[in-house]
Amino acid sequence: MSFTAVPQARLRLNRSTLAVPGSRAEFFEKAARSVADVVFIDLEDSVAPDEKDKARKNAVAALNEIDWGRKTVAVRINGLDTPYMYRDLVDVVEQGGGRLDMIMMPKVGTAADVYAVDMLVTQIEQAKGWTRCIGLELIIESALGLANIESVAAASKRTEVLHLGVADLAASLRARTTGMGGANPGYTVLTDKRADGRRDTHWADPWHYALARLVVAARANGLRPIDGPFGDFTDADGYRAAASRAAALGCDGKWAIHPSQIEMANAEFTPPKADVDQARRILDAMAKAQKEGKGAVSLDGKMIDAASIRQAEAVVKKSELIEAGGASASGMRHAG
Ligand code: GLV
Ligand code: MG
């Protein structure tokens, strides 16, 4: 390990992040009773301009009146370049901050964006005399945000999550797609000609670079990397494949923009029992090896060593967090 320790953000179960438009208060109770690990009430892109005030009031009422149980509850405020953002932040935190776990910031471009929100939230918390610390989750969804991702990720001790917002990112990059996540028929690789002259077309993942970049920046700063929306909620297989890719790369979870996607996210981001069993076998084998003074041994014909312990511990820890049912105060890197 480096001599530089990476303090970890507060530990929370974050397999599914359910988006609920703030203007649709009739959906809130259902969201609270859903099996989503995290729910965010959206004041931004799913809310029309003339409904912004109503959505903000709905969010405050929902924070105060709905029983969210042990769920993590967040509110997505409007962007820092809009006339809605300051009131979103002040009203939601001042009036609903008692139950608010995290503020989701869209279209973060620079570390200064995060600094500004941190400063305002800090002032409100101090004025209220609160000792608990509201977290920040940042959506990386612009060329600027992706280019500055390292400094953005390190900008505030409140930050817990980096999300990849594929829809806005595609728009910002001028990528040729109108879909929200998923594959793109224009992004393929053509194999060389075979003997019979035929060639195969392989679809590639257009989001791979951005997601891998985000996972690295998040983990280097002790944050949770979360994959964003998959727009075609009629394509369950496509959603599962995208979630599985994200989990394989290291993400903790994915958005659900429709209730039908919640359970798929929970399943894809729960380590399979076979993996957890295998991780426990690796830990047992390495414990035995260490007693015998060995640094590396073979298990089922494969070499394992101290790095295998760390991999196995990550799998077991994740599974234990899921069994424990979610949020925990441990791993907090900021005091209240
Ligand atoms: C999410 O906000 C996105 O733009 O994908
Ligand atoms: Mg967006």
Q: Digits of tens for pLDDT over the chain (336 positions)? A: 889 999 999 989 999 999 999 999 999 999 999 999 999 999 999 999 999 999 999 999 999 999 999 999 999 999 999 999 999 999 999 999 999 999 999 999 999 999 999 999 999 999 999 998 999 999 999 999 999 999 999 999 999 999 999 999 999 999 999 899 999 999 999 999 999 999 999 999 999 999 999 999 999 999 999 999 999 999 999 999 999 999 999 999 999 999 999 999 999 999 999 999 999 999 999 999 999 999 998 999 999 999 999 999 989 998 998 888 765 444 334 433
279 within some domain: yes
CATH assignment of the domain containing 176: 3.20.20.60
Q: How many Å lie between the centroid of ligand 2 and the Cα of residue 9? A: 23
The domain boundary, picked from 245, 270, 295, lies at 270
Q: Is the CB of 79 under 6 A from ligand 1?
A: no
Q: How many Å apart are CA 150 and CA 113, to the nearest integer?
A: 14
Q: Is the CB of 166 under 6 A from ligand 1?
A: yes
Q: How many Å apart are CA 270 and CA 201, to the nearest integer?
A: 32
Amino acid, res. 116: A
Residue 87 · residue 115 · CB < 8 Å? no
Same domain, 165 and 253: yes
Per the structure, the complete domain to which residue 319 belongs is given by 271-336
| pTM of the entire predicted model | 0.92
The domain boundary, picked from 237, 252, 270, lies at 270
Same domain, 38 and 116: yes
Tell the residue number behind the tokens 């970890």, with chain if given. Answer: 8
Q: How many Å lie between the centroid of ligand 1 and the Cα of residue 321? A: 28
What residue's CA is closest to ligand 1, atom 2? 165
Same domain, 190 and 275: no
pLDDT of 326 reads 60
300 within some domain: yes
Select from 45, 46, 105, 261 the residue to mutate for testing ligand 1; criterion: most ligand atoms less than 8 Å from CB: 45
Residue 150 · residue 117 · CB < 8 Å? no
Same domain, 256 and 299: no
What residue's CA is closest to ligand 1, atom 1? 165
**Which ligand 1 atom minimizes the distance to the CA of 106?**
2
Q: How many Å apart are CA 170 and CA 14, to the nearest integer?
A: 24
Same domain, 132 and 39: yes
Q: How many Å lie between the centroid of ligand 1 and the Cα of residue 177? A: 14
3-state secondary structure 288-313: HHHHCCCCCEEECCEEECHHHHHHHH
9 within some domain: no
Q: How many Å apart are CA 140 and CA 138, to the nearest integer?
A: 6
How many beta carbons lie within 10 A of that of residue 282, not counting itself?
Answer: 22
Same domain, 242 and 321: no
Same domain, 234 and 313: no
Same domain, 189 and 251: yes
The domain boundary, picked from 252, 270, 288, lies at 270
Q: How many Å lie between the centroid of ligand 2 and the Cα of residue 167? A: 6
Own/partner pairs, 260-266, CB within 8 angstroms, 24+ separation: 260/233, 260/236, 261/16, 261/230, 261/233, 262/16, 262/18, 262/34, 262/35, 262/36, 263/16, 263/35, 264/236, 264/239, 264/240, 265/15, 265/16, 265/17, 266/15, 266/16, 266/35, 266/37
pLDDT of 142 reads 98
Q: How many Å apart are CA 211 and CA 200, to the nearest integer?
A: 26
The tally of domains found in the chain comes to 2
Please state whether beta strands 102-105 and 135-140 pair in parallel, antiparallel, or not at all (unpaired).
parallel
Same domain, 156 and 263: yes
pLDDT of 335 reads 32
Same domain, 294 and 321: yes
Three-state DSSP at 16 gives strand
Amino acid, res. 113: D
Q: Is the CB of 206 under 6 A from ligand 1?
A: no
